[in-house]
């Protein structure tokens, strides 16, 4: 077995998460803005194209199982992380010229070239989502492989802090790198600058991923693998080589416990919606209810991000180790619920200072809840099928975020049509109220969660899988 990860090693491994955070800023912020403002894309086209990345989330289950059962070069995780990184970095570079080409086709109204261009754009974002899934699912499985139950709260906190750090650093570096485009609206000038910028970003991402994963996994990390390759070692009693776990067997293990269904397919969906249902309407809430400018409303995400960073650190280093994972998850959900209620109430006061304070509290709650939920997810994971379990978690989270974006905007439109009262506030209050109810539902679901029962259920199911495997 490999040695436990040191603090420096965890931070180094977290560089990959930081890269994902920086790319998220570029894709969801920079390219989104260019398509809408500079190139005149319809909003539905922009949202639909970007949604294709999330729609590829089911592939996480497949890629997780593949990394469990089909090692490359004697390693189960790192080769897939590197392969996925090379693919999504290359696709990120290709996205820029394709976006501008479709923009030219939109301006010309050219058919059938426009239809082909839109199809290619959606296909590129779908391929980008597949590459992200290919890299991130084995990466999270690697975190499970390299940490034990006692180490995971700290490791999860630091790795997810690195994601938040990547978002902040990515936003700052993007702003500084593209300062030459201030007041520039000509696509012919913007395109080459963005292409060069994306190429540099992709090269940096590849380099940092290599650094993050260097020596994180060795052939000796999986005794069953060496035995399988040599063909001369007998399986230990009760040991199932990971490459023997097929997709069908992995699915039987995943569905063998009601606790998995409660956590992955109920709690995680409700929890994710409770965090992100307000995501598509937050800046508009600040603008229309509080009268914030564009730059000031954008800063709301910064307040939320700082709070999340602090919450992740507090949870990993203090809250979860002292309270335990399940009590910490309950605390985080209660704080999210309180934050959402305060977010509604501060709309009645229209106090910008109170709004900023609540966003910090909301971020703090999100950090605590996210860390404890991730630790619970890792506990509700069977090592023999870690990749498949992480894939199911990624699927539930990604689809929930996609649903949250669609549902948040839809509820706002519904609130504007209903006779809820004068002014813009009632429609936003409807979205936040539904989000609070969903969070309360997530809190109730936690009462049905039992990690001990999960281990009993999956242990029994694993024995049955072993019996079938051994004939």
The 10s digit of each residue's pLDDT in 227-241 is 444 444 444 434 444
* Residue 76 banded pLDDT, cuts 50, 70, 90: confident
- Long-range contacts of residues 176-185, Cβ cutoff 8 Å, at least 24 apart: 178/30, 185/38
Q: Which two tokens stand for residue 45?
A: 């086209």
Please state whether the peptide bond connecting residue 112 to the residue before it is cis, i.e. omega within 30 degrees of 0.
Answer: yes
Q: Indicate if 80 and 167 belong to the same structural domain.
A: yes
| Final residue before a domain boundary, out of 219, 244, 269 | 244
Alpha-carbon dihedral sign for residues 16, 21, 22, 26: positive
Average pLDDT over residues 303-320: 84
Examine residue 235 and state whether it is found in any structural domain, yes or no: no
Examine residue 207 and state whether it is found in any structural domain, yes or no: yes
Look at 299 and 359; give whichever has higher pLDDT.
359
In the chain, the number of structural domains is 2
| Final residue before a domain boundary, out of 181, 209, 244 | 244
- Long-range contacts of residues 455-463, Cβ cutoff 8 Å, at least 24 apart: 457/256, 457/257, 457/258, 457/259, 458/253, 458/256, 458/257, 458/260, 458/382, 460/256, 461/252, 461/253, 461/256, 461/257, 462/240, 462/253, 462/382, 462/384, 463/238
Q: Please report the pLDDT score of residue 470 as a whole number.
A: 44
Q: Please report the pLDDT score of residue 52 as a whole number.
A: 81
pLDDT of 30 higher than 90: no
Q: Indicate if 309 and 432 belong to the same structural domain.
A: yes
pLDDT of 81 higher than 90: yes
Examine residue 303 and state whether it is found in any structural domain, yes or no: yes
Q: Indicate if 154 and 97 belong to the same structural domain.
A: yes
Q: Which residues make Cβ contacts (< 8 Å) with residue 93, sequence separation at least 6? A: 195, 198, 199, 202
Distance in angstroms (rounded) separating the CA atoms of residues 434 and 205: 38
> Could you tell me the residue range of the domain that residue 126 belongs to?
1-229+240-244
| Max intra-chain CA distance, the chain | 77
Distance in angstroms (rounded) separating the CA atoms of residues 308 and 366: 6
Q: Which two tokens stand for residue 463?
A: 């024995």
Q: Please report the pLDDT score of residue 383 as a whole number.
A: 62
């Amino acid at each position: 077995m490999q040695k436990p990860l040191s603090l420096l090693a965890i931070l180094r491994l977290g560089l990959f998460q930081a890269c994902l955070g920086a790319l998220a800023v570029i894709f969801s912020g920079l390219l989104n803005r260019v398509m809408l403002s500079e190139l005149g894309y319809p909003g539905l086209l922009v949202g639909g194209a970007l949604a294709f990345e999330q729609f590829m989330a089911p592939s996480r289950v497949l890629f997780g199982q593949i990394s469990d059962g089909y090692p490359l070069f004697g390693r189960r995780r790192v080769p897939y992380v590197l392969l996925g990184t090379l693919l999504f970095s290359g696709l990120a570079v290709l996205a820029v010229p394709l976006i501008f080409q479709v923009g030219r086709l939109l301006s010309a109204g050219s058919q059938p070239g426009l239809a082909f261009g839109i199809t290619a754009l959606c296909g590129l974002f779908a391929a980008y989502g597949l590459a992200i899934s290919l890299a991130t699912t084995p990466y999270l499985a690697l975190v499970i492989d390299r940490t034990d139950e006692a180490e995971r709260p700290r490791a999860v906190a630091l790795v997810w802090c690195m994601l938040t750090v990547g978002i902040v650093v990515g936003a700052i570096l993007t702003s500084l790198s593209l300062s030459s485009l201030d007041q520039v609206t000509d696509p012919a000038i913007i395109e080459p600058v963005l292409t060069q910028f994306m190429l540099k970003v992709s090269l940096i991402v590849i380099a940092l991923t290599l650094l993050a994963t260097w020596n994180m996994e060795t052939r000796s990390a999986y005794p069953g693998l060496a035995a399988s390759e040599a063909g001369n070692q007998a399986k230990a009693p009760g040991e199932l080589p990971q490459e023997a776990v097929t997709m069908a067997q992995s699915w039987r293990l995943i569905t063998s416990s009601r606790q998995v269904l409660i956590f992955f397919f109920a709690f995680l969906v409700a929890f994710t919606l409770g965090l992100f249902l307000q995501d598509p309407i937050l800046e508009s809430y600040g603008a229309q209810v509080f009268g914030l400018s564009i730059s000031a409303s954008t800063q709301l995400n910064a307040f939320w991000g700082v709070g999340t960073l602090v919450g992740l650190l507090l949870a990993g280093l203090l809250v979860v180790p002292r309270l335990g994972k399940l009590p910490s998850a309950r605390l985080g959900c209660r704080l999210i619920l309180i934050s959402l209620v305060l977010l509604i109430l501060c709309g009645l006061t229209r106090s910008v200072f109170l709004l900023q304070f609540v966003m910090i509290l909301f971020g703090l709650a999100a950090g605590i809840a996210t860390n404890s939920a991730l630790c619970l997810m890792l506990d509700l994971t069977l090592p023999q099928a870690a990749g498949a379990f992480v894939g199911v978690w990624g699927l539930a989270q990604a689809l929930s975020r996609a649903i949250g974006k669609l549902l948040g905007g839809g509820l706002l439109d519904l609130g504007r049509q209903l006779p809820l009262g004068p002014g813009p506030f009632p429609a936003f209050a409807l979205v936040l109220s539904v989000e609070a109810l969903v969070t309360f539902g997530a809190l109730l679901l936690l009462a049905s969660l039992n990690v001990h029962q999960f281990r009993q259920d999956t242990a029994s199911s694993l024995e049955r899988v072993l019996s079938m495997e051994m004939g």
